[in-house]
């Protein structure tokens, strides 16, 4: 808890600290668990690896097309 609002010049450093803390917490949580990273920007390559890893069934072509749809591109 903070007693008052952050000073404007403190905000970038605070935001950086927050992002680093969250990233560190997620990394620690996943360190001893089986997991895959799926990137939004790789054209579906890592999503395909995910589908393979989980032995996905069903309409995989539709899943791939849906994954590649762009929303709120602006």
Q: Whole-angstrom Cα distance, residue 55 to residue 49?
A: 10
Q: Which residue has the higher pLDDT, 13 or 3?
A: 13
Which sequence spans correspond to the domains of the chain? 37-69
- Alpha helix stretches (DSSP H) within 4-74: 11-30, 45-53, 60-67
Residue 38 banded pLDDT, cuts 50, 70, 90: very high
Are the C-beta atoms of 39 and 46 separated by less than 8 Å?
A: yes
pTM above 0.75, yes or no: no
Q: Which residue has the higher pLDDT, 52 or 4?
A: 52
Residues contacting residue 50 through CB under 8 Å, at least 6 positions apart: 36, 38, 56
């Amino acid at each position: 808890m903070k007693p008052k609002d952050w000073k404007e010049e403190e905000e970038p450093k605070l935001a950086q600290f927050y992002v680093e803390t969250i990233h560190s917490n997620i990394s620690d949580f996943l360190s001893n668990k089986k997991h895959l990273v799926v990137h939004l920007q790789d054209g579906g390559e890592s999503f395909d690896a995910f589908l393979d890893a989980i032995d996905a069934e069903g309409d995989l072509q539709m899943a791939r097309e849906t994954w590649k749809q762009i929303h709120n591109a602006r």
